[in-house]
Amino acid sequence: MRPPSASGAAGFDHDHYLDSLAADRIDAQNSPPEGWTADAVAAAHTRGILAFGSLLNDNARLSRAATLGLDAVYTDEIAMAAAVFGR
């Protein structure tokens, strides 16, 4: 089962997906930031699953990831990410 590329995809049950990840002892979900909401990040954390963001190569997407509290991000723009995350 693959996660949606954006939250609220028709027919996708994110809670069920997170339950299946936890049952299989998978400890992280990696999705574009548009696939995450604050509630989805909290739901992942409740199950012991880390929330990762991918394809974050612009300021808007990096800022969204920071606001959501994602645990990790994948980016080619290291200096921009460091500035957004205050590192």
Encode pLDDT of 22-62 as tens digits.
999 999 999 988 889 999 999 999 999 999 999 899 999 99
The answer to whether 3 and 14 have CB atoms below 8 angstroms apart is yes
Buried b / exposed e over 58-87, threshold 16 CB at 10 Å, is eeebbebbbebebbebebebeebbeebeee
Whole-model pTM: value is 0.81
**pLDDT at 87 > cutoff 80:** no
* Domain edges within the chain: 36-87
Encode pLDDT of 5-15 as tens digits.
445 566 778 89
